Amino acid sequence: MYGYLHIAYASSTSAFPNTNENAKPQETNAIQTHNSSEKNVNCDGKSFCTEVPNYLEQTQLHNISLENLAQFPAHFRDDYTGDTAVRSMHYTDSDEFDYCDSITRLVYPQSAETKDSKSVLVVQRGGNKQGILIEECTETNKECRFADSLPVGYTSTCTQRYTFRSVVVFMNGELKEELIKIPSSCKCSIKFRGN
């Protein structure tokens, strides 16, 4: 059976990575991981990374038994994609248009942001992988399609939205379930700016 486990929705004010204006530029996209022995992970401004340097050394997954992984059978699977060339999570008629362009793909994150804005290492090992279907805006902060048809004083912006998804992570030497932040849709936000 396919479906999400323990889903909660993110606040529209969520910001990641660190938005501290005093942060050094090279630290802006770096995520500090939970284990002090782990190095910072650079996710290029995203809430997850699909490749983490020295991932196997950091997680020591090769030392974890299959019995330990078997505690989480519902997690080690790929989300249902229907068609592998799926363009959007939103199934629409061919004569309908989206206001913002997005791309949908299946990812296998090795590191991700939690609901507490901390980074964790996601378990991805051999046949025990967690494929997550995401939808990302092709361009954020771009004016939405058909913006010229809005009433005077209104502006539109394509905005990335997120959800939280339960996955198995490696934290402080143990396997556990954790909610991670995943791109879920690209929304057209309309605001009144005045005449």
pLDDT tens readout for residues 3-16: 322 222 233 223 33
Range scoring the smallest mean pLDDT among 8-17, 54-63, 119-128: 8-17
Cα–Cα dist 150/104, whole Å: 27
* pLDDT-above-70 percentage for the chain: 72
**Predicted pLDDT of residue 130:** 96
**Predicted pLDDT of residue 153:** 93
As beta bridge partners, residue 104 has 135
Q: What is the CA angle 94-98-104, rounded to 5? A: 90
pTM, rounded to two decimals? 0.71
Evaluate whether 68 touches 175 at the Cβ level (below 8 Å). yes
